[in-house]
Structure 1
Amino acid sequence: MSIYEFKVDKINGEAVSLDEYRGKVIVIVNTASKCGFAPQYDDLQGLYERYMDEGLVILGFPCNQFLNQEPGDNLEIDAYCRLNRGVTFPMFAKVLVKGREAHPLFRYLSENAPGMMGSKSIKWNFTKFLIDREGNIVNRYAPQTKPYEMEEDIKKLL
């Protein structure tokens, strides 16, 4: 199985295949606008702007599974990200990232890139996964890892 086999819904509801991002370095992150880590949107956007011409793409997946920190609908989330955070990287429809009902993409990421002490479950918002140009998971970063702390790893893959 490859990351490119998954289909996801963009925040506007349009279904797309992750194959659309084949050949790019990808950061996949589960987001929440009311989370204490929401300022990471700014740094994710900064990384995106700095390296998008070299092949980096950030894919944001809103999730409301952690203390109800993403209660809005897709339209509200999209407006918040664009207007309050200046996000221009692709945002997707709200998903579940843990449990039996988790989106297949996040089940795959969790299984193939365990977190601290081998934990497979995503524990909080802004868990980040770095994917190389061939679709391989290179690393998983904890929510408290600031996006710019991933920069050297990203540059090695570009």
Structure 2
Amino acid sequence: MLPSRRQIVAGIAGAASAGLISREAVAQALTGAHAFGFDKPGGGRLPLADYRGRPILIVNTATRCGYAGQMATLEQLWQRYQTRGLMLVAVPSNDFGGQEPLDGTAIAEAARQSHGATYTFVEKSVVRGPEAHPFYRWAASEKPADTPRWNFHKYLVGRDGALLGGFPAATDPLSPQLVQAIGRELAAG
């Protein structure tokens, strides 16, 4: 019996983790958003390939932004859909108005204390322009009209790694359009 695509991807990811092949080789073997990963505060990596088969909501955040209250609404969304398969990744960024003065684990701790956030936070990243994190450069090439214009821009990634769409900062995490998009993707599995 031939191995499944999931088994092949897991084998490639395991070989990369063991240092047997480079991250670049892994990125070439994976497609869409699953080719990317984010650094974790305090060390380690969060490969999006680990969430293949699950929808992923990726949100650029800032603790001092006027939209920071969305962290609590994101928590409500996370509590509602995590057991059904949704992955939520907060990507802190200081790109808009210098509104993320914190670094590392202090960002997630501030979000937890102020907004009850328990979803995953990664290291602070650049989310726009030529210095943007590779995921954000890829997303901009996929959906040029849906790039982050402020903090709390939301990207929804499908189970297959395709970028399904972008939702601007003013879109509440519990808005019908975002909830319906997540629901469609969860039902597709």
TM-score (normalised: structure 1): 0.92
Match of 1:48 among 68, 72, 78: 78
Q: 1:122 deviation in Å?
A: 2.3
Structure 1 outlier segments of 4+, above 4 Å = none
SS of the aligned residue for 1:105 comes to helix
Alpha-carbon distance between aligned partners in 1 of 2:37 and 2:182, rounded to the nearest angstrom: 24
Match of 2:172 among 143, 146, 153: 146
**How big is each residue's C-alpha offset from its partner over 1:22-47, in whole Å with a ceiling of 9 and x where there is no partner?**
11111011000100111111111101
SS of the aligned residue for 1:147 comes to coil
**How big is each residue's C-alpha offset from its partner over 1:32-79, in whole Å with a ceiling of 9 and x where there is no partner?**
010011111111110110011110111100000111100111122121
RCO comparison, higher one (Cα < 8 Å, 6+): 1
8 Å Cα contact 1:62/1:70 also seen in 2:
yes
Q: Which has the higher helix share?
A: 2
1:8 aligns with 2:38: yes
Match of 2:156 among 108, 112, 130: 130
Aligned pairs for 1:114-129 within 5 A = 114-115=144-145, 121-129=147-155
Aligned pairs for 1:80-95 within 5 A = 80-95=110-125
**How big is each residue's C-alpha offset from its partner over 1:81-113, in whole Å with a ceiling of 9 and x where there is no partner?**
122111111110000001111100111112212
Q: 1:11 deviation in Å?
A: 2.4
Percent identity between matched residues is 36
Alpha-carbon distance between aligned partners in 2 of 1:103 and 1:84, rounded to the nearest angstrom: 27
8 Å Cα contact 2:32/2:163 also seen in 1:
no
TM-score (normalised: structure 2): 0.78
Deviates more, 1:4-13 or 1:41-50: 4-13
Alpha-carbon distance between aligned partners in 1 of 2:43 and 2:98, rounded to the nearest angstrom: 22
Counterpart amino acid of 1:10? K
> If you compute each CA radius of gyration, which structure gives the higher value, 1 or 2?
2
Gap runs ≥5 in structure 2? 1-30
1:26 aligns with 2:52: no
Counterpart amino acid of 1:147? P
How many residue pairs were aligned?
154
Gap runs ≥5 in structure 1? none
Q: 1:2 deviation in Å?
A: 1.6
Q: 1:16 deviation in Å?
A: 2.7
Alpha-carbon distance between aligned partners in 2 of 1:87 and 1:13, rounded to the nearest angstrom: 20
**2:11 matched residue in structure 1:** none
Q: 1:123 deviation in Å?
A: 1.2
